A and B are shown apart, each in its own frame.
Chain A
């Protein structure tokens, strides 16, 4: 029962392709946490680092991996240098460093000498291989640093998720090997505030893990997708103060209540799947007035262990993809979601208030009913498609899509974001979202 499609209110406008493109499949791109850079994992065993100011190639990281590089992740919170982790089909992960002091100078020098491989300056300018993380038995599919930079999570076709802790520079210790999944683990992602890790799998499930008395354990399993879950990503921190909820006049009691509820739940989770859907999940907060459990009459000691969390599906986004959705990204500025996949489409979704009866009156009359429906029914918000682009990479599949801060000369505001898509054609394309 999809709602009647509305005319999208925005258009996805091309601003540039990163140049030169790779001549083989590109898998995934990661914008640098602070600098105007983006790293792309390529099937030619290299990583390409492009400038998001000039849209040109700055570095090619070669010679490290023996097979396709499938995933890249920048370590957050590092000063004076950039640290990049790479995960490959060769079953290993690499950690690379580059000194970023005197950055601007380095860039211009590098650009002038780009074709001159023998240049002595290249060595100190390049990304230096610093260590290799061995342990997985087969292809690494994804990897991700925790927001604090303390942990690196990797996952593989060997069905396991590994958590590595960097004790000191280049000294990594395996702190957990999680083997809950029954199939390839496709993607790992960290919660923006807590040390909570999510993984998505070929077994159609998503699992969440936390540290409990020195052991990392599974605390929740999200079951709902009908096929492989390709991507998982948490919402940004404190989004109710940034997204559409922060706009407009004074809020009704109902909406204020909804926002308080959202704050208690914390950041939500978005997943995308081979079943062509994108779904949103949230945590049922503990100690909150949990009507559902008190209604069952089951003592809470039986219901769950101390660390277990209950996550439920909150919404399924309007379905616009007709093949696997490989990637979904949640803007940390606006709360909008972008998705892309095998059908070559890029779709942007926005959440908004539902136009229900409400506005105080109804809620006052039926206070009892209102609270009984706390966790279900009559959603306060809905997701709508605001932009849709066909054939974003000509006829090729799109393997990854994400939001990044806009850094080029055409930037219209400090906060403006671009959409970056990475395709089977070896192209990384940059798009703006225009009304």
Chain B
């Protein structure tokens, strides 16, 4: 580990403790003759490339496709993002957590716009990379979700020393758009998101 990291010794969650509804099926796979050796190494979220191509689960198979995205799926989309300074996922660092993801339905029957609110928990209160992590989460969701979703990414209250300032930046569409035209920053983001596909 490099000495200048903001948090050289983060708490890391065991992958099997991370929320997933796919665990059952992977267990079944093991019974089917898989070795199980690589289960901890191969991301269990490797279907992330196009998550809306396949039905979420057999019970959801009715034709009402509008509300077929739930918090678990949002979690799956962002938990596999890599931390910019550790070779670990945001899920395993508990930067993103399932209970901190909410999907708000349209505010009017005339509207089809839903809102995804994600609260992120930086590993330490003065983590200077909080903005970059938040940006990664916002970009990942904007790229993966259908455009009817508005994405609001915030720092969980009380977990960061400058959370209001970071929240304001993350909520500013124009700043986000300009950031994505910044080559250096895009390089960092691309690396963070490379573990998602």
| Chain A interface residues toward B at CB < 8 A | 25, 43, 67-68, 70, 89, 138-139, 141, 157, 184, 186, 202, 227-228, 274, 322-324, 342-345, 390-391, 394-397, 424-425
Report which of B146, B173, B178 forms a contact with A157, defined as CB distance below 8 A. Answer: B178
Chain A proximity mask over B118-149: 1 for CB below 8 Å, otherwise 0? 00000000000000000000000000001110
Residue of B nearest to A228 (CB): B172
Residues of chain A with a CB closer than 8 A to B147's CB: 394-396, 424-425
Residues of chain A with a CB closer than 8 A to B29's CB: none
Report which of B112, B177, B178 forms a contact with A391, defined as CB distance below 8 A. Answer: B112
B171 within 8 A of A: yes
- Chain B interface: which size bin? 10 to 19
Alpha-carbon distance A391/B113, docked complex (angstroms):
9
Q: Which of B18-26, B38-46, B103-111, B188-196 contacts A (4 or more CB under 8 A)?
A: B103-111
Residue of B nearest to A397 (CB): B173
Residues of chain A with a CB closer than 8 A to B150's CB: 323, 342, 397
B174 within 8 A of A: yes
Assess A391 versus B168: contact at CB under 8 Å? Given A342-B150, A396-B147. Answer: no
Alpha-carbon distance A322/B148, docked complex (angstroms):
15
Question: A89 near B108 (CB under 8 angstroms)?
Answer: no
Q: A139-B178, A345-B111, A391-B112 are in contact. List 5 more A-B contacts (CB 8 A).
A: A138-B178, A324-B173, A391-B113, A395-B113, A395-B147
Alpha-carbon distance A307/B181, docked complex (angstroms):
41
Residue of A nearest to B152 (CB): A323
Q: How far is the CB of B130 from chain A (nearest CB, A)?
A: 18
Q: How far is the CB of A139 from chain B (nearest CB, A)?
A: 5
Question: A395 near B148 (CB under 8 angstroms)?
Answer: yes
13 contacts between A and B (CB under 8 A): A25-B177, A67-B178, A70-B174, A184-B174, A186-B174, A202-B172, A343-B113, A390-B111, A395-B112, A395-B146, A395-B148, A397-B150, A424-B147
DSSP class of B's interface residues: helix, strand, loop or mixed?
Answer: loop
Alpha-carbon distance A228/B171, docked complex (angstroms):
10
Query: Of A89, A157, A396, which is in contact with the most chain B CB atoms at under 10 Å from its CB?
Result: A89
Q: How far is the CB of A106 from chain B (nearest CB, A)?
A: 34
Report which of B111, B146, B175, B177 forms a contact with A344, defined as CB distance below 8 A. Answer: B111
Residues of chain B with a CB closer than 8 A to A227's CB: 168
Report which of A89, A322, A343, A344 forms a contact with B181, defined as CB distance below 8 A. Answer: A89
Question: B113 near A184 (CB under 8 angstroms)?
Answer: no
Residues of chain A with a CB closer than 8 A to B175's CB: 157, 184
Alpha-carbon distance A425/B110, docked complex (angstroms):
19
Q: How far is the CB of A190 from chain B (nearest CB, A)?
A: 21
Question: B171 near A274 (CB under 8 angstroms)?
Answer: yes
Alpha-carbon distance A138/B150, docked complex (angstroms):
27
Residue of A nearest to B181 (CB): A67
Closest 8 CB pairs of A and B: A395-B148, A390-B110, A139-B178, A67-B181, A89-B178, A322-B107, A395-B147, A390-B111
Q: How far is the CB of A117 from chain B (nearest CB, A)?
A: 26
Report which of A25, A67, A344 forms a contact with B113, defined as CB distance below 8 A. Answer: A344
Residues of chain B with a CB closer than 8 A to A324's CB: 173
Alpha-carbon distance A96/B173, docked complex (angstroms):
28
Residues of chain A with a CB closer than 8 A to B174's CB: 70, 139, 141, 184, 186
Residues of chain B with a CB closer than 8 A to A395's CB: 112-113, 146-148
Residues of chain B with a CB closer than 8 A to A322's CB: 107
Residues of chain B with a CB closer than 8 A to A139's CB: 174, 178
Residue of B nearest to A90 (CB): B181
Residue of A nearest to B115 (CB): A323
Residues of chain B with a CB closer than 8 A to A184's CB: 172, 174-175
Alpha-carbon distance A343/B175, docked complex (angstroms):
18
Residue of B nearest to A326 (CB): B173
Residues of chain B with a CB closer than 8 A to A424's CB: 147
Alpha-carbon distance A391/B177, docked complex (angstroms):
22
Residue of B nearest to A388 (CB): B110
Alpha-carbon distance A343/B111, docked complex (angstroms):
9
Question: A390 near B172 (CB under 8 angstroms)?
Answer: no
Question: B168 near A228 (CB under 8 angstroms)?
Answer: yes
Alpha-carbon distance A396/B149, docked complex (angstroms):
9
Residue of B nearest to A204 (CB): B168
Question: B113 near A202 (CB under 8 angstroms)?
Answer: no
Alpha-carbon distance A177/B108, docked complex (angstroms):
44
Alpha-carbon distance A397/B171, docked complex (angstroms):
14
Alpha-carbon distance A395/B110, docked complex (angstroms):
11
Alpha-carbon distance A157/B179, docked complex (angstroms):
12
Alpha-carbon distance A25/B174, docked complex (angstroms):
11
Residue of A nearest to B146 (CB): A395
Question: B181 near A342 (CB under 8 angstroms)?
Answer: no
Question: A391 near B110 (CB under 8 angstroms)?
Answer: yes
Of residues 157 through 197 on chain B, the ones whose CB sits less than 8 Å from some CB of chain A are: 168, 171-175, 177-178, 181
Question: B172 near A391 (CB under 8 angstroms)?
Answer: no
Alpha-carbon distance A25/B148, docked complex (angstroms):
15
Alpha-carbon distance A68/B174, docked complex (angstroms):
11
Assess A68 versus B181: contact at CB under 8 Å? Given A274-B171, A395-B147. Answer: yes
Residue of B nearest to A324 (CB): B173
Residue of B nearest to A395 (CB): B148
Report which of B108, B171, B177 forms a contact with A390, defined as CB distance below 8 A. Answer: B108
Residue of A nearest to B108 (CB): A390
Q: How far is the CB of B135 from chain A (nearest CB, A)?
A: 15
